[in-house]
Chains A and B, each alone.
Chain A
Amino acid sequence: MHRVEQPVPPVEVRSLTKTYGEVAAVCGISFKLEPGSVTALLGGNGAGKTTTIAMLMGLVIPTSGLALVFGADMARERHKVLHRMNFESPYVDIPMRLTVRQNLEIFGRLYGVRDLKERIEAMAKELRIAELLDRRYGKLSAGQKTRVSLAKALLNEPEVLLLDEPTASLDPDTADWVRGRLERFRDRSRATIVLASHNMAEVERLASRVIMLERGRILADETPAGLIRRYGRETLEEVFLDIARRGPETLAPREAAQ
């Protein structure tokens, strides 16, 4: 009898823990993401979102547990899969003195993108940065920088895309445009997207699953609609505020009532 091989999930986290001295940033969390899914990591400041993403990138080594991407342990063998990933964060810049084209060219070479010139032109057209290509990145507005960072993040057509507050500090119009692009990328590429965000409208729009973190632990793990239902609220923002203001214990009575 042939053994049926289970497909390797694009992202899997097993009993992941990170402590810094006495402080526990992430406490034994586990989850598995489906290919083509968009999962939001929600939680207040210090909930463990960024640490979890950093461990998924292999930039932080877990104290215990595993962060796996396409089955590769990101603490030890991340270079096997880094070319299949990318990330975007307004808190990590790309070189300011280089032009947009030079930046995309360098990252394209780092990732080994074929037909790089054509790829840059295509990305520039898609993300409306064609007129910015020969301008210095440091001279761009916040909205323009976000579009360029997005081009960098999508340049290698990642199968796993990590986004850390991708629309932070953007005006509503630009933020909406970015979300639209991410939706298009999600629908076209079937990439697995992990999104850390404080913008609940963004999460409701983009994510099919929400993992809510509180002090490094998973408080809830379900669809945005399911989470809203469970808390008996109208929006995800109200759920978030409930937890932030009244604590995670707000979850238990409502669950019990159901």
Chain B
Amino acid sequence: MTGEQQPRALLYGQAGLWASLRRIGALVRRHWYVTLASGPRVAELIFWPLVSMLMWGFLQTYLAKTTSFAAHAAGLFVGGILLWDILVRSQLGFAVAFLEEIWSRNLGHLMMSPLRPLELVAALVSVSLLKLTVAMVPVAALAYLFFGFNLLSLGLAFAAFFANLVFFSWALGLISTGAVLRWGMGAESVAWLIVFLLLPLSCVFYPVATLPGWLQPVALALPSTHVFEGLRALVMTQSFHSDDMLRAFMLNALYTCVAYVLFRHLLDSARRNGTLVQIGE
């Protein structure tokens, strides 16, 4: 007999969906207290998306006055940067929430608590969504105010773009946090840089056809590339390429599954190599 079955009057049941939701909620609450209830930290979340949106927005305004292409493709730059920031902020939200546990030397307590690995991932996903909302809602509103670009006017296409980008960000988040679990803080830079490595390949501001032929299949293997191709099609020709989005969803499903398996493998590897108890040193 193992102890799971023994009644503990002091504690709620540990199995089932509600118990899982309670543990996930506990970790989300921890990040709410640290980040989202702090004015300076919320300002920090908004700062970079706001700066890049303003920079690309003014560039687009300037180009629209000087080139017919830019005048025709109003919203391409602002839309591109807003969607790119959704990917970046979501991935960083996930990874930084995990890094917070290492910076505060709290990972040992979490790993020793009844929190399951899948619940840890679910909590990081929830925290990244919360941070993304806090960062992007005001920035998207300001994009409309300054440049007349309404992200929501993309309608259902926006929902497809958004879903694909956040799914992809979680797959990247899983890989980067797995790397930190296995190799310690030496791999911290992976968490910060992994998404920027994909910036040139995601073709945020130019069509995939711009890339050399041999690089195009690599770019098309990224769900983000399909999103930005889709955005360009929508802005330039007012057409929504559903097959592109479907391809992105399939790629995301594959990458998320692979990333979770990799995360679990790296976690177990960290337990085998003893690095889990040394993280932060």
- Enumerate chain A interface residues (CB-CB to B < 8 A): 8, 18, 20, 25, 50-51, 54, 57-61, 69-72, 75, 77, 79-87, 89, 91-98, 102, 105-107, 109-114, 119, 152, 156-157, 159
Task: Pick from A18, A84, A91 the residue with the most CB of B within 10 Å.
Answer: A84
Q: Which of B3, B8, B271 contacts A61 (CB 8 A)?
A: B271
For this complex, 28 residue pairs linking A to B, each with C-beta atoms less than 8 Å apart, are: A8-B1, A8-B2, A50-B277, A58-B271, A59-B271, A60-B271, A61-B271, A70-B1, A71-B2, A72-B3, A72-B4, A82-B113, A83-B14, A92-B105, A92-B106, A93-B104, A107-B109, A109-B22, A109-B25, A110-B114, A111-B114, A112-B11, A112-B23, A112-B114, A113-B10, A156-B10, A157-B8, A157-B10
B9 contact set on A, CB distance < 8 A: 114
Tell me if B115 and A69 are in contact (CB < 8 A): no
| Residue B108 is within 8 A (CB to CB) of chain A in the complex | yes
Interface of B is mostly: helix
Q: Is the CB of A107 within 8 A of B105?
A: no
Would you call B11 and A111 a contact (CB within 8 A)? yes
CB of B112 closer than 8 Å to a CB of A: yes
Q: Are B114 and A93 in contact (CB under 8 A)?
A: no
User: How many interface residues does B have (CB within 8 Å)?
Assistant: 42
Q: Please, how many angstroms separate the alpha-carbon atoms of A212 and B26 in the complex?
A: 39
Knowing A60-B277, A98-B30, A113-B11 are in contact, say whether A107-B113 is a contact too (CB < 8 A): yes
Known: A109-B22, A110-B26, A111-B11. 7 other contacts (CB 8 A): A57-B111, A72-B4, A79-B114, A80-B4, A86-B112, A95-B106, A110-B115
Contact B2 A70 (CB under 8 A): yes
* Set of chain A residues within 8 Å of B273, measured between Cβ atoms: 20
Cβ of B274 within 8 Å of any chain A Cβ, yes or no, is yes
CA distance in complex: A222, B277 (Å): 29
Residues of B near any A CB (own CB < 8 A): 1-4, 6, 8-14, 19, 22-23, 25-27, 29-30, 33-34, 100, 104-106, 108-116, 268, 271-274, 276-277
Residue in A71, A84, A87, A102 whose beta carbon sits within 8 Å of that of B33 in the complex: A102
Complex Cα–Cα for A81 and B34 (A): 29
* B11 neighbours in A (Cβ, 8 Å): 83, 111-114, 156
Residues of A within 8 A of B109 (CB): 92, 94, 107, 152
Contacts of B19 in A (CB 8 A): 112
Contact A93 B10 (CB under 8 A): no
A60 and B106 in contact, given A81-B4, A110-B27, A112-B12 (Cβ under 8 angstroms): no
